[in-house]
Structures are given as C-alpha cells and as structure tokens.
Amino acid sequence: MMKTNGQKIYQTKSVNKLENSEIEIEGEIKSEHLKIHRDKALAEIKKDAELPGFRKGNVPESVLIGKVGELSVLEEGARLAIEDALPHLLSEHEYEYIGAPEITITKIAHNEPLGFKVKIAIMPEVKLADYKKIAKEKNSKEMPKEEVSDKEVEEAISQILKSVAHNHNRDKEENTPAPALNDELVKKLGDFKDVADFKIKLKVIVAKNKEDKAREKKRIEIVEKIISESKMTLPKILIENELNKMEAQFKDDIERMGMKVEEYLRHLKKSFEDMKKEWRPDAEKRAKLQIVLNRIAVLEKIKADKNEVEKEAAHLLEHHKDANPAKAKEYIEMVITNQKVFEFLENLK
C-alpha cells in the first residue's frame, strides 16, 4: 500500500471487468499528493524555460504560470502523480497485467482529490498448446552448418564499400564512387592487417549472420506453431498498443530516410488509418505472440535480472533523453524476458 507519513495517498473506488480481457479501475489520489507532483512539474518546466528578459531556468514562477497556464502545470503534475501511484495501485489487485495502461483524468482541481480511471488489459484465459512438445519436435531437426560462398563475401564487400561512399558523400556537394578495396582502407574499417585478413574475418561474420537468421527462423517456427495450437481472447488494448508501436517505427524509418511522413503518405495516396488497417493482422499476430511469451514466462518462472534491466534502461535513456524512465524499464524488462523465453524454448531437447 503506497503511503505518505503513514497515510494512504490513493483510494480504489471500483474495479470493473470489461470485454476482451480488460479491466477498468477507478480511483482517487489525495490532493496533498497532487500538490507535491504539481510543484515537481513546475520545477521541471522552470528548469528549461526561456523567456525574453530572463536567463534560462530563472523565470519567476508567477510569470511562467502566466505563460503556460496553471491548468497545464496541474495536468502535468497529475500525470506524474498517477505514474507514481499506478504500480502500487495495480499490485493491490490479483490480476496479471499485460500491455500499457490507458489513463483518463476524470477530475482535477486545486485542493481536491485527483480523479482518474485506468483501463488495462489482463492476461486472458489462454488454453496454451503443449509448447514443450512443439519446441522439442522443432529442435530435433539439426540446423545445417552455414557455408559461405566467395560470391556472398564479395556481395558483403560491395555493400561495405557502398556504405563507405555514402558516408563520405553525406557532407559533400559532389558524389564520389565507391572506394577501391586496399590494405589502407580495411585498416580504417577495423582490426584488419590487410585485405586477405579482412576477407577471412568477413567470411566468419557473414557465416555468423546466416546462423543468426537460421536461429531466428527456427524461433519463429516454434512460436507460430504454439500460437496456432493455442486458444485465447485477444484484448483490444493490446492490439492498439502494437499498432501504436508500428506507427512510431514507421515514422522513425521515414524520417531517417530524410523524408516527411505526410509527404510520403501523400505519395502513397494513403492515410494513417489506411496504414493501420494494413498493419492490423500483423499487430494481432504480435499481440498473440506477447501473450504466449508472457504465459510461458509465468509458468516457467522466467524473469529478467533486475540489474540487467537497470543497466539496459539507463543505456536506452542516454540515447532517448525524452523517454519516460518507468516505460523504458518496462520495455527493457519485456525484451529481456522475451529473449530468455526464446532461449528456454530453443534449448528444449
């Protein structure tokens, strides 16, 4: 139970079961706790605020509130307060939660309790296939040793040289052709003595990549078989979460190519709604996969190491400074746990 000075800071008012393996929890957070987080939110906003006549971080609070609005500060404080209380609130109820919660603020005002609703997917009733038997059957087939031809090595070299030329041309007005492969170049690329040494080591790398692809293919075959033989109800919120991830990845991919998402969609003559309709079957498949992996993790008591989660989440936040720390940890924990489940399945003999 989350408490401040011995007092409970939130109250659960109701828990309602919805369709598609979802529940809705309605609750309140005490006004004192909202004020604490409202002040934290204001301090964060002030830290980066820049207004004419004031140095960064030195804008008086009254001026800052007049600029951004008290409601905006209060709403940000409400978000922080709910995020703080949510893990404790959810842990009170004996449900196995999956996916990210959908939070709605129902009441917000100074010196009043903060009202909110949380809708979240819970682990649906799953009639899980005999995953051990399926994995053992797939694992009984030995993976062929990956051979690498001279042609594959030359294709890899060609791609590397094109990449070198692309990086060189990025800041130049004129385009230069791909460079010649020589001892001087390969030494710049890594720990290579000469071209012959580079080709030998590159062949090993290409073989390793082929082995990784073969292993990934086998993993997919195992889980697809498990999914096809399992029965479950698919929570809508989980499908929406997957669609949101796909949309974010799509936007990131387009922007990294130096294009604007709106222009790209106009070129395709499609809207985001059109894209989501196309992505939906894939999103459903991903959602089913996550349910199966979660269920196996619970049954086999497979958990991510806390220290590893902390380390990887810190690394992620270094590169994505605007990311939410709690969500970053949740994401990393899911990725590591999934990896451990895959390893468990592929090691069943």
What domains appear along the chain, each with residue ranges and CATH number? 3-122 (3.30.70.1050), 131-150+195-346 (1.10.3120)
Angle at 9 between CA 79 and CA 85, to 5 degrees: 40
| Inter-residue contact 21 to 235 (CB < 8 Å) | yes
Which two structure tokens, joined as six digits, stand for 90?
Answer: 């959810």
Q: Which residues of the chain have pLDDT under 70?
A: 1-7, 168-176
**Using one digit for the tens of pLDDT, what is the confidence trace for 277-301?**
999 999 999 999 999 998 999 999 9
Write down the pLDDT at residue 1. 42
Q: Is 49 helix (H, G, I), strand (E, B) or coil?
A: coil
Q: Rounded to an integer, what is the distance from CA 79 to the centroid of its chain?
A: 20
Write down the pLDDT at residue 41. 84
